[in-house]
């Protein structure tokens, strides 16, 4: 008996040692945390991690080579809905991401090690404007501006399609990875047995969770369904027929907004709540440095300035326009205006109502319950108000197309009566329209490169906000001149 | 049954059979062990005692990825001789030196069980010159490979590999005829592993290199240098707009990289990078030296040599009229030195190594438009696993870089696209420059400086006719798109001659209005570079 006992003890000891070694290996391969060397605040905003690696991190080597293995899928999903000259290549840049030369990935994508290097999203993905003043120059990037070129839906659909493709297998992906990354035998096992199958499964899950977006009009570049995302995914509310397609907003000088309502329909009352819920939305868990990081983001965008208008401004005309602005716009749009930062009732502003209808008080309460359970504080949101928030106008020349749903291509169009506004136009083309103020959205060049937006579709209505459409032509021109300076 | 003779016989037979089986088992084990050892062996030919030889025959590591089994390399010219313009690799412009069994620009490495031949830097950066048609060619390291037709080499490989003759039996037979002798084991490995694997690889390469079908034929001394980068990224070339699809440029010289590095000059024709290290690694990609396969020891050795003072162009070997050159020196100082350096060794000048905007230089814009912001951005991913080596210096520019003119007498034809045969022609207004000329000849044109370019044929060698625009009769030209190959808006205009324009680098500031004797003087002075 004693001998059997001794053997048993030895066996147990061996098993324990092996298990411990295995645990250490797993921890080391999958969970050791790295740091990010980021030069300054701007770099941190562009490329910094929100620590969502655990929930939503894709292995960088795998992520990097996907466009090379699936060029046909890049072409399909980067050009769907666009004109014939839209580039269907260029890696992730094909989806309109802002990609600074010399960087590993476009702005808004972070690479951080958690066991292995993982790619996650951050605020800058949707809040960096890419623009050109002429078609023959490389793009400029305005940090904090709306990512009007970003085709987020196309990017997601690309990843989902890739995950269903036969090529999404270790036998095809690993040799491509091995061209660029040195892999030891353990890495081969790791990718073959864990990372590639797990990434595939995660993409399938994400696709399933986003299935509702295929039942609604396309987001198109520069937009997402801002509140249906948390409604259907985070709070697992049954899918409904609402449509909340909304332009990515600018986050310039958000410090000026304290006290007012934030989000298109006033769904939040503080910048902090917007930052915290947005971070949770892209997979950041309310643990560790969650609050500290959100506060840093809040402070960074509080004073973030837009670039100045790059074209010519006629100072005399702008001066006259200033008076028109003071008389007709300032009440709602000037900082400190009586109604600035409040929700203007739908009955009054009469812009497309769908966004307001998509997010009710019960949706907000459900979300608050989930977010509080996760452990986040000061992150409460509320149901959409009965109307849209009148925002202070900051960097207006780069905010096109206009209105919350991006349904009016230029400021000049916005100052026209709704029936004279373009019924279809092309968005997502990044050459600035210095005349009408906005981006080139009609004409051959825009049609060839842009995404066709049909204002006749649900959620895309271009009516309402008729303020100023009654102005005499010279006053309108003068006002436009002044608006360039904002 | 004891003592039955048959049983003894049976026992003996069994014992013998056991020995034989054991012997066979040992043989199998030894063979497998040998093959495993041989498969794992990774050894390149190295010449670290002789930097120039290492440059000419050393490895970039590209042979690990793209190396052709040496038997096949030897067999190919004979096997598919009808796809070559003449006899042997020489007919594509490869240079053979005495004592080497493979041309300049090739490395040899035993890798994955085969001796494999790959390309290295020198395939595009070693050229030859002759002082007259009767003299022997002088081989110059660091000089543009003025006679090498790289595109035709690529075309030859794929044509041959996808030909019926490229089968195990004929390939190994051709290799034996070319003097290669192998053991049975090696022969079988070559026939049933090497041949099919190479065919697979070339099918992939042919598809990825289909961008070449969308531009002019490069001819000797030129190639589309960023096309391969786009191919690596698997950009679908048919989706790339035609005005961005033409990227053919001349091979540059590689002398005196040290001063270029020190001054952070913009490198590549459009100046898209200012790091010599990165430029080297980027060029290495072209030989197959991808990050995980690069031979860093050899690459660093060659880099150091390229950066050293010893890496200089040879002196002009023919008489120079010193009085005339002296006069030219003054004119050069006045017209050229600000952009091109004080002389052939002193590269000081306020604009040397900077980018001259396309609106000013107005040379063919196709190569500029061929390199895009999207490509510069994606190149930030290359060498991503190696933080110290990762590409981070590529930038989209708006013109072409002002280069120092060291050894300019060996760098003909001129301009980034090699569209002007001689220096003297470059000093003429574009309308007086030759509309068509021949490339691939290496006899120095002493009067005009460059290589003799009006010779269509010498003996059995015919040269490549380079057309800068339509040269047929007006009626025929009228039916072509952009027959004069104009690019008045400084953007690439698609057409049959796109990328080949000889316009630009002209007008009063570029010296094309000077009287003829002044131009001759400048030419004479440039011989001293």
Q: Is A358 on the interface with B (CB under 8 A)?
A: no
> Smallest Cβ distance to B233: which of A68, A72, A99?
A68
> Smallest Cβ distance to A99: which of B233, B290, B377?
B377
- CA A178 – CA B445 distance, rounded (Å): 49
* Position A415 in a domain: no
Residue A327 pairs in a beta bridge with none
Q: Tokens standing for B10?
A: 């049976």
- CA A310 – CA A36 distance, rounded (Å): 34
Question: Which is nearest to A341 in space by CA: A430, A265, A435?
Answer: A265
Residue A454 pairs in a beta bridge with A424
Do the strands B43-44 and B106-111 form a parallel or antiparallel pair, or are they unpaired?
A: antiparallel
* Number of separate domains in chain A: 2
**Interval B303-315: pLDDT, tens:** 999 999 999 999 9
Domain span at A240: 34-259+271-302
The rounded mean pLDDT for chain A is: 93
- CA A391 – CA B355 distance, rounded (Å): 44
Q: Do B234 and A71 touch (CB under 8 A)?
A: yes
Contacts of B232 in chain A (CB under 8 A): 68
Question: Are A170 and A290 within one domain?
Answer: yes
> Smallest Cβ distance to B374: which of A60, A87, A105?
A87
pLDDT band at A27 (very low <50, low <70, confident <90, very high): confident
* Position A307 in a domain: no
Q: Is A182 on the interface with B (CB under 8 A)?
A: yes
Question: Are B69 and B34 within one domain?
Answer: no
Q: For testing the chain A interface, which of B234, B359, B390, B397 should be mutated: the one with the most A CBs within 10 Å?
A: B234
| DSSP of A383-399 | PPPSEEEPPP--SGGGS
- CA B451 – CA B448 distance, rounded (Å): 9
Give alpha helix (H) positions in B286-380.
296-307, 322-335, 337-340, 358-361, 366-370, 373-378
Contacts of A101 in chain B (CB under 8 A): 373, 376-377, 380, 394-396
Question: Are A95 and A208 within one domain?
Answer: yes
Chain A, nearest residue to B278 by Cα: A102
> Smallest Cβ distance to B235: which of A71, A99, A106?
A71
Question: Are B388 and B417 within one domain?
Answer: yes
Question: Are B29 and B88 within one domain?
Answer: no
Q: Do A90 and B377 touch (CB under 8 A)?
A: yes
Give alpha helix (H) positions in A165-250.
170-180, 185-189, 196-209, 228-229
- CA B167 – CA B170 distance, rounded (Å): 6
* Position A482 in a domain: no
Q: Is A4 on the interface with B (CB under 8 A)?
A: no
Question: Are B20 and B132 within one domain?
Answer: no
- Classified as helix, coil or strand, B88 is coil
Question: Are B448 and B362 within one domain?
Answer: yes
Contacts of B241 in chain A (CB under 8 A): 85
> Smallest Cβ distance to A138: which of B234, B291, B373?
B373
Distance from CA of B250 to the nearest CA of A (A): 25
**Interval A167-206: pLDDT, tens:** 999 999 999 999 999 999 999 999 999 999 999 999 999 9
Q: List for chain B the helix, strand, coil content (%; round to 5).
A: 45, 10, 45
Q: Do A104 and B374 touch (CB under 8 A)?
A: no
Question: Are A60 and A173 within one domain?
Answer: yes
- Classified as helix, coil or strand, A130 is strand
Question: Are A80 and A45 within one domain?
Answer: yes
The rounded mean pLDDT for chain B is: 94
Question: Which is nearest to B104 in space by CA: B129, B86, B84, B122?
Answer: B122
Question: Are B184 and B240 within one domain?
Answer: yes
Q: Tokens 């010159």 sit at which residue?
A: B129
- CA A109 – CA A123 distance, rounded (Å): 9
> Smallest Cβ distance to B374: which of A64, A90, A179?
A90
Question: Are A15 and A109 within one domain?
Answer: no
Question: Which is nearest to B311 in space by CA: B51, B49, B48?
Answer: B51
Contacts of B380 in chain A (CB under 8 A): 99, 101-105
Contacts of A106 in chain B (CB under 8 A): 377
At a CB cut-off of 8 Å and minimum separation 6, what does A314 contact? A481
Q: Do A181 and B384 touch (CB under 8 A)?
A: yes
* Position A349 in a domain: no
Q: Do B239 and A103 touch (CB under 8 A)?
A: no
This prediction's pTM: 0.93
Residue A117 pairs in a beta bridge with A113
- In degrees and rounded to multiples of 5, residue A368 shows phi and psi of -60, -40
List, as ranges, residues 22-81 from A with C-beta within 8 Å of B: 60-61, 64, 67-69, 71-72, 75
Contacts of B395 in chain A (CB under 8 A): 101-102
pLDDT > 50? residue A154: yes
pLDDT band at A268 (very low <50, low <70, confident <90, very high): very high
**Interval A94-147: pLDDT, tens:** 999 999 999 999 999 999 999 999 999 999 999 999 999 998 899 999 999 999
Q: What is the pLDDT of residue B261?
A: 94
Q: Tokens 């009469």 sit at which residue?
A: A350
Domain span at B28: 5-40
- In degrees and rounded to multiples of 5, residue A343 shows phi and psi of -85, 125
Q: What is the pLDDT of residue A146?
A: 96
Q: What is the pLDDT of residue B179?
A: 84
Distance from CA of B209 to the nearest CA of A (A): 15
Is the Cβ–Cβ distance between B437 and B461 less than 8 Å? no
Question: Which is nearest to B353 in space by CA: B300, B283, B406, B280?
Answer: B406
Q: Do B375 and A104 touch (CB under 8 A)?
A: no
Question: Are A4 and A121 within one domain?
Answer: no
- CA B186 – CA B192 distance, rounded (Å): 10
Contacts of A102 in chain B (CB under 8 A): 376, 380, 391-395
> Smallest Cβ distance to B239: which of A60, A75, A99?
A75
Give alpha helix (H) positions in B183-243.
184-189, 195-208, 227-232
The vertex-B354 CA angle with B351 and B356, nearest 5°, equals: 90
Question: Are B221 and B321 within one domain?
Answer: yes
Contacts of B376 in chain A (CB under 8 A): 101-102, 138
Q: Please tell me what DSSP assigns to residue A410.
A: B
* Number of separate domains in chain B: 2
Question: Are B344 and B445 within one domain?
Answer: yes
Q: Do B292 and A178 touch (CB under 8 A)?
A: yes
Is the Cβ–Cβ distance between A224 and A248 less than 8 Å? yes
Q: What is the pLDDT of residue B1?
A: 47
- In degrees and rounded to multiples of 5, residue B137 shows phi and psi of -65, 140
Question: Are A58 and A21 within one domain?
Answer: no
Q: Tokens standing for A213?
A: 């977006």
Q: What is the pLDDT of residue B3?
A: 52
Q: Is A141 on the interface with B (CB under 8 A)?
A: no
* Position A240 in a domain: yes
Distance from CA of A102 to the nearest CA of B (A): 4
Q: For testing the chain B interface, which of A59, A91, A177 should be mutated: the one with the most B CBs within 10 Å?
A: A91
Question: Are B34 and B82 within one domain?
Answer: no
Q: Do A102 and B395 touch (CB under 8 A)?
A: yes
- CA B484 – CA B470 distance, rounded (Å): 6
- Classified as helix, coil or strand, B56 is helix
Distance from CA of B513 to the nearest CA of A (A): 31
Q: Do B380 and A71 touch (CB under 8 A)?
A: no
**Interval A311-352: pLDDT, tens:** 889 999 999 999 999 999 999 999 889 999 999 999 999 999
Question: Are B336 and B469 within one domain?
Answer: yes
> Smallest Cβ distance to B236: which of A71, A178, A179?
A71
- Classified as helix, coil or strand, B69 is strand
Q: Tokens standing for B426?
A: 């470059």
Contacts of B208 in chain A (CB under 8 A): none
* Position A83 in a domain: yes
* Position A459 in a domain: no
Q: Tokens standing for A54?
A: 């655990």
Stretch A50-68: mean pLDDT: 93
Q: Tokens standing for B256?
A: 């005196």
pLDDT > 80? residue A11: yes
Question: Are A223 and A91 within one domain?
Answer: yes
Q: For testing the chain B interface, which of A138, A141, A178 should be mutated: the one with the most B CBs within 10 Å?
A: A138
Is the Cβ–Cβ distance between B442 and B130 less than 8 Å? yes
Q: Do B394 and A102 touch (CB under 8 A)?
A: yes
Chain B residues whose C-beta sits inside 8 Å of any chain A C-beta: 65, 232-236, 239-241, 290-293, 373-378, 380-385, 390-396, 398, 491
Is the Cβ–Cβ distance between A124 and A109 less than 8 Å? no
pLDDT band at A1 (very low <50, low <70, confident <90, very high): low
pLDDT > 90? residue A389: yes
Question: Are A248 and A126 within one domain?
Answer: yes
Q: Tokens 């709602």 sit at which residue?
A: A332
Chain A, nearest residue to B288 by Cα: A179
- Classified as helix, coil or strand, A427 is strand
Distance from CA of B230 to the nearest CA of A (A): 9
Q: For testing the chain A interface, which of B40, B227, B239 should be mutated: the one with the most A CBs within 10 Å?
A: B239
Question: Are B14 and B107 within one domain?
Answer: no
Q: For testing the chain B interface, which of A103, A180, A430, A448 should be mutated: the one with the most B CBs within 10 Å?
A: A180
Distance from CA of B474 to the nearest CA of A (A): 33
Chain A, nearest residue to B391 by Cα: A102
Question: Are A169 and A115 within one domain?
Answer: yes
Question: Are B112 and B23 within one domain?
Answer: no
Residues of chain B with pLDDT under 50: 1
Question: Are A122 and A52 within one domain?
Answer: yes
């Amino acid at each position: 008996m004693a001998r059997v006992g001794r053997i048993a003890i030895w066996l147990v000891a061996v098993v324990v040692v092996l298990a411990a070694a295995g645990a250490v290996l797993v921890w080391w391969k999958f969970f050791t945390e790295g740091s990010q060397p980021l030069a300054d605040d701007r770099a941190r905003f562009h490329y910094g991690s929100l620590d969502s690696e655990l929930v939503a991190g894709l292995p960088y080597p795998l992520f990097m080579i996907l466009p090379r293995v699936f060029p046909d899928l890049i072409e399909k999903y980067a050009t769907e809905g666009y004109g014939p000259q839209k580039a269907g290549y260029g890696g992730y840049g094909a989806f309109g991401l802002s990609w600074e030369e010399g960087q590993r990935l476009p702005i808004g994508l972070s690479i951080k090690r958690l066991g292995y290097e993982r790619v996650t999203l951050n605020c800058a993905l949707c809040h960096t404007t890419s623009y050109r003043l002429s078609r023959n120059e490389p793009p400029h990037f305005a940090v904090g501006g709306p990512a009007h070129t970003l085709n987020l839906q196309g990017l997601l659909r690309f990843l989902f399609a890739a995950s269903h493709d036969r090529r999404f297998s270790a036998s095809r992906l690993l040799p491509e990875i091995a061209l660029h990354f040195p892999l030891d035998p353990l890495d081969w096992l790791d990718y073959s047995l864990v990372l590639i199958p797990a990434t595939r499964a995660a993409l399938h899950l994400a696709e399933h969770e986003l299935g509702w977006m295929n039942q609604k009009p396309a987001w198109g570049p520069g937009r997402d369904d801002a509140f249906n995302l948390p409604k259907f995914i985070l709070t697992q509310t049954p899918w409904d027929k609402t449509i909340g397609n909304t332009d990515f907003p600018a986050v310039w000088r958000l410090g000026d907004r304290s006290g007012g309502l934030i989000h298109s329909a006033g769904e939040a009352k503080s910048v902090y709540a917007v930052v915290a819920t947005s971070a949770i939305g892209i997979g950041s868990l309310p643990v560790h440095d969650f609050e500290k990081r959100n506060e840093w983001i809040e402070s960074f965008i509080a004073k973030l300035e837009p670039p100045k208008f790059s074209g010519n401004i006629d100072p005399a005309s702008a001066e006259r326009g200033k008076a028109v602005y003071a008389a007709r716009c300032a009440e709602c749009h000037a900082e400190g205006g009586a109604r600035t930062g409040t929700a203007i009732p739908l009955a009054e502003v009469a812009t497309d109502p769908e966004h307001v209808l998509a997010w009710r008080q019960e949706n907000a309460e459900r979300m608050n319950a989930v977010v509080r359970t996760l452990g986040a504080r000061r992150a409460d949101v509320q149901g959409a108000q009965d109307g849209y928030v009148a925002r202070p106008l900051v960097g207006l020349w780069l905010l096109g197309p206009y209105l919350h749903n991006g349904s009016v291509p230029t400021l000049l169009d916005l100052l026209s009566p709704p029936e004279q506004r373009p019924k279809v136009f092309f968005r997502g083309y990044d050459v600035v329209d210095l005349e009408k103020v906005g981006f080139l959205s009609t004409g051959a060049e825009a049609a060839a490169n842009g995404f066709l937006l049909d204002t006749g579709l649900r959620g895309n209505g271009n009516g309402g906000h008729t303020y100023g459409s009654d102005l005499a032509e010279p006053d309108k021109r003068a006002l436009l001149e002044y608006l360039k300076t904002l | 049954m004891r003592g039955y003779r048959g049983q003894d016989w049976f026992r003996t037979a069994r014992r013998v059979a056991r020995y034989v089986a054991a012997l066979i088992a040992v043989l199998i084990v030894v063979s497998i062990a040998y093959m495993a050892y041989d498969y794992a062996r990774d050894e390149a030919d190295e010449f670290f005692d002789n930097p120039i030889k290492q440059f000419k025959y050393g490895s970039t590591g590209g042979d690990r990825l793209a190396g052709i089994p040496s038997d096949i390399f030897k067999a190919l010219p004979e096997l598919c001789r009808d796809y070559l313009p003449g006899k042997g690799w020489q007919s594509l412009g490869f240079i053979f030196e005495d004592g080497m069994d493979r041309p300049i620009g090739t490395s040899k490495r035993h890798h994955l069980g085969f001796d494999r031949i790959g390309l290295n830097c020198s395939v595009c950066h070693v050229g030859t010159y002759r002082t007259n048609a009767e003299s022997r060619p002088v081989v110059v390291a660091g000089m543009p490979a003025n006679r090498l037709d790289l595109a035709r080499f690529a075309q030859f490989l794929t044509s041959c590999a996808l030909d019926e003759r490229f089968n195990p039996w004929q390939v190994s037979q051709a290799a034996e005829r070319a003097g290669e002798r192998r053991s049975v084991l090696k022969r079988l490995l070559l026939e049933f592993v090497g041949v099919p694997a190479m065919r697979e690889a070339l099918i992939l390469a042919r598809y990825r290199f289909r961008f070449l079908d969308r531009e002019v034929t490069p001819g000797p001394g030129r190639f589309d240098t960023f096309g391969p980068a786009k191919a690596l990224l698997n950009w679908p070339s048919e989706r790339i707009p035609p005005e961005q699809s033409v990227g053919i440029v001349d091979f540059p010289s590689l002398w005196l990289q040290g001063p270029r590095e020190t001054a952070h000059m913009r490198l590549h024709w459009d100046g898209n990078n200012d790091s010599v290290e990165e430029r080297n690694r980027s060029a290495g990609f072209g030989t197959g030296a991808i990050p995980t396969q690069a031979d860093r020891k050899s690459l660093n050795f060659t880099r150091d040599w390229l950066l050293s003072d010893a890496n200089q162009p040879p002196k002009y070997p023919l008489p120079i009229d010193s009085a005339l050159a002296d006069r030219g020196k003054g004119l050069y100082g006045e017209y050229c030195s600000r952009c091109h350096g004080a002389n052939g060794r002193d590269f000081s000048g306020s604009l040397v190594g900077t980018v001259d905007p396309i609106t000013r230089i107005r040379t063919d814009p196709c190569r500029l438009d061929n390199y895009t912001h999207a490509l510069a951005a994606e190149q930030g991913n290359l060498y991503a696993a190696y933080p110290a080596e990762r590409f981070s210096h590529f930038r989209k520019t708006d013109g072409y870089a002002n280069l120092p003119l060291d050894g300019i007498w060996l760098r003909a034809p001129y301009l980034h696209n090699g569209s002007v045969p001689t220096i003297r022609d470059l000093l003429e207004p574009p309308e007086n420059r030759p509309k068509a000329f021949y490339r691939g000849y290496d006899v120095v044109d002493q009067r005009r400086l460059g290589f003799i370019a009006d010779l269509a044929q010498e003996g059995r060698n015919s040269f490549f006719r380079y057309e800068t625009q339509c040269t047929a009769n007006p009626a025929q030209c009228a039916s072509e798109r952009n027959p004069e190959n104009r690019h008045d808006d400084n953007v690439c205009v698609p057409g049959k001659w796109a990328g080949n324009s000889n316009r630009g680098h002209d007008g009063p500031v570029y010296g094309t209005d000077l009287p003829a004797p002044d131009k001759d003087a400048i030419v004479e002075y440039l011989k001293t570079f």
